[in-house]
Amino acid sequence: MALRTATQRRELCRDCPIARVADALGDPCSLLIIRDLIDEPRRFSELEESLGMSTRTLTLTLRRLQKQGIVSRHERKTLPLYVQYRITRKGAAFGAVVDAMRSYGKKYL
């Protein structure tokens, strides 16, 4: 992160909704998780493979996104375990952002 301290970051975020969004996403991979889950619910391992990230980072990111109310976790206690991650309503509203990014990417990158 390029913003000095956590407190200073919060200062910047107080007034600017864009900064808040950037802060909420935290890192590029959160966005890709959201993109995937908006498409359809996914299992842990599916995300793992789709994004090519370590279990550690994926776990941490998913945990953060849950705390933010952007994704939810649904567990079926079979054996082996079956866990599904879904986008929440709040998370689905990111669709507009994702769409804007998709349009931009297609056109300019």
Residue ranges in contact with DNA by CB under 7 A: 1-4, 27, 43-46, 53-57, 59, 62-63, 73, 80-85
The only residue of 6, 10, 52, 81 in contact with a second copy, by rule CB under 8 A: 52
- The HSE-up count of residue 71 (CA atoms within 13 Å, CB side) is 33
Task: Count CA atoms within 13 Å of residue 33 on its CB side.
Answer: 32
CA nearest 28: which of 103, 101, 104, 77? 101
Question: Which stretches within the chain are classed as H helix?
Answer: 6-15, 17-25, 28-39, 44-51, 55-67, 89-92, 95-108
The answer to whether 104 contacts a second copy (rule: CB under 8 A) is yes
Chosen from a second copy, DNA, none, partner binding at 55 (C-beta under 5 to 8 Å by type): DNA
83 forms beta bridges with 75
102 binds a second copy, rule: CB under 8 A? yes
Q: Of these, 25, 37, 71, 87, which contacts a second copy (CB under 8 A)?
A: 25
Interface with a second copy (CB under 8 A)? 1-4, 8, 12, 16-29, 31-32, 35, 51-54, 57, 61, 90, 93-94, 96-109
